[in-house]
Amino acid sequence: MLSQEEKQYALKKYIEFLQHPSVSATGEGIRDTASWLKDFMTELGIDSTIEDTGGHPVVLGKVNNGGDKTLLVYNHYDVQPVDPLNEWKYPPFSATIENNVVYARGASDNKGVLIARLIAFSKYKGNLNFKFLFEGEEEIGSVHLSEYVEKHKEKLNADAVIMEGAGLDAKGRPMIILGVKGLLYVQLTVRTGDRDVHSSNAPIVFNPVWELIKILNSIYDGEKVKLKGFYDDIEPINAEIKELLEKYDVDPEDIRKSLGVFKLKTSDIKSLFTVPTCNIDGIISGYTGKGSKTIVPSYAMVKMDFRLVPNQDPKKILSSLIDHIKDKAQIEVMGMEKPVRTSPNSNVVKAMINSAKRVYLNDPVIIPNSAGTQPMGVFADLGIKEIVSAIGVGTPSSNAHAPNENVNLENFYKAIEHAYEFYNEYEKLNK
């Protein structure tokens, strides 16, 4: 349990951090915040530097406590833009507290978790070594992270990584996420001419939308992805993972409502974690304004993402896609992330479960891999086998990425305790 003084100190630092804008999309306050963070880490006795990445800097910290094991703590100090500003009840960087809830951009995603982990570190007396990697570009897609990590392999080596933090579910249970789905994001463009032509020419000219639809049909048939080898490398669901999935209990109707969709494609919500997808994020061609305009457009463009399950390789799938499309469309690659899945029997996961139970007096919700992505693959590429996303301050009503982002301060203090217990537990299990 935290003392009143410890809580006051933690809250003071949390509020200070929240009052530093750090919007990666615009660059607002990024350097200032990085500098504030480095100073705070130095104050805690962490050997800290601001590191150039080619984009927004990384704040890196290192502590050698003399043990055999090193934990890499990954968070990000950047936040999403604040618009629509007029929907906020308090200015987004005022960090106003009302009824023990703090309202601020970044309160949940990701400044609360970052501070909680640092405060927990400042209490920790064991021999576990620490590395802190605090990124400034997570909200714009971790543009330079993989390049930076690749370049500083030696510096970043560790036995385990704890990622951003998974927060609490709607029932207040801490979530532990053992991995992530991978991603391949591409943009395909079909161009059939220099300019749109009158649609009276439809009998004799190619329509790029029909051509694109032909390609899309050949990639996905509504059920299965038809790219050669797409399903070949998928890691079978083993008994441990099966057990986790069986415990995963959510009501499809709750999910449907929370997403605001009219119907679910399936009531098997577990497919979020186990089924790779081929999704269309956007498509555009021709005239899309009011009324009618009769043209055969000159090009059509689609953006699509493939979400991949553990052991699918985005690079292999990209080359299968390129072979498949040949010169029928121009392909632009806009993102690739490897899927990751850490064993539920690994020490990092066991330590996370044990410490969560101790702090929350409740069984954590364990998810074999998130449905979305985090840059876990970057760390998996370093050869690190134990990567987990857990310890969070947010709940589904924390409005991450939305107006009135907020965190209940009790959840912030609990996260400090969870991090503290986890550090000790992880040290113990590795003895």
Subset of 301-320 contacting its own copies (CB under 8 A): 301-303, 305, 307
Of 185, 379, 423, 426, the residue at the interface with its own copies (CB under 8 A) is: 185
Burial 400-423 (b: 16+ CB within 10 A, else e): beebbbbbbbebbbbbbbbbbbbb
322 binds its own copies, rule: CB under 8 A: no
CA distance linking residue 365 with residue 362, whole number of Å: 9
Element (H, E) at 295: strand 295-296
Which parts of 5-144 are beta strand (E)?
47-51, 58-63, 70-76, 96-98, 101-103, 129-135
CA distance linking residue 78 with residue 85, whole number of Å: 18
Half-sphere exposure of 245 (CA within 13 A, CB side): 18
Burial 22-47 (b: 16+ CB within 10 A, else e): bbbeeebbbeebbebbbebbeeeebe
Between strands 47-51 and 330-337, the pairing is unpaired
198 binds its own copies, rule: CB under 8 A: yes
Of 199, 319, 320, 430, the residue at the interface with its own copies (CB under 8 A) is: 199
Find the part of the chain contacting its own copies (CB under 8 A) among 5-13, 101-109, 124-132, 365-373: 365-373
Cis peptide before 84 (omega within 30 of 0): yes
Find the part of the chain contacting its own copies (CB under 8 A) among 41-49, 287-295, 378-386, 405-413: 287-295
- Per the listing, tokens 């960090």 go with 95
255 binds its own copies, rule: CB under 8 A: yes
- Under DSSP, the state recorded for 348 is H
Sequence-ordered list of residues with C-beta below 8 angstroms from that of 133, at least 6 positions apart, any chain: 58, 60, 72, 73, 74, 75, 156
193 binds its own copies, rule: CB under 8 A: yes
170 binds its own copies, rule: CB under 8 A: no
Of 80, 192, 411, 424, the residue at the interface with its own copies (CB under 8 A) is: 192
1 binds its own copies, rule: CB under 8 A: no
201 binds its own copies, rule: CB under 8 A: yes
The pair phi, psi for residue 268, each rounded to 5°, is -80, 85
286 binds its own copies, rule: CB under 8 A: yes
Contact 335, 146 (CB under 8 A): no
CB of 198 to its own copies, least distance (A): 6
Query: In this structure, what token pair is assigned to residue 335?
Result: 């993102």
238 binds its own copies, rule: CB under 8 A: no
Give whole-number Cα distances, 329 to 86, 207, 211, 241, in Å: 42, 13, 9, 39
End-to-end CA distance of the chain: 25
Find the part of the chain contacting its own copies (CB under 8 A) among 147-155, 157-165, 211-219, 413-421: 211-219
261 binds its own copies, rule: CB under 8 A: yes
Nearer residue to its own copies within complex by CB, 91 or 141 = 141
145 binds its own copies, rule: CB under 8 A: no
- Under DSSP, the state recorded for 173 is P
183 binds its own copies, rule: CB under 8 A: yes
Find the part of the chain contacting its own copies (CB under 8 A) among 153-161, 208-216, 226-234, 322-330: 208-216
204 binds its own copies, rule: CB under 8 A: yes
CA distance linking residue 238 with residue 109, whole number of Å: 32
CA distance linking residue 272 with residue 45, whole number of Å: 42
Nearer residue to its own copies within complex by CB, 259 or 361 = 259
222 binds its own copies, rule: CB under 8 A: yes
254 binds its own copies, rule: CB under 8 A: no
Of 171, 293, 315, 428, the residue at the interface with its own copies (CB under 8 A) is: 293
Of 144, 181, 338, 341, the residue at the interface with its own copies (CB under 8 A) is: 181
CA distance linking residue 163 with residue 74, whole number of Å: 5
Of 27, 81, 335, 403, the residue at the interface with its own copies (CB under 8 A) is: 335
CB of 274 to its own copies, least distance (A): 8
Half-sphere exposure of 361 (CA within 13 A, CB side): 0
279 binds its own copies, rule: CB under 8 A: yes
260 binds its own copies, rule: CB under 8 A: yes
Subset of 27-86 contacting its own copies (CB under 8 A): none
Nearer residue to its own copies within complex by CB, 3 or 292 = 292
CB of 263 to its own copies, least distance (A): 7
218 binds its own copies, rule: CB under 8 A: no
206 binds its own copies, rule: CB under 8 A: yes
177 binds its own copies, rule: CB under 8 A: no
157 binds its own copies, rule: CB under 8 A: no
The count of residues interacting with its own copies (CB under 8 A) is 76
Task: Give the sign of the dihedral formed by CA 390, CA 393, CA 399, CA 405.
Answer: negative
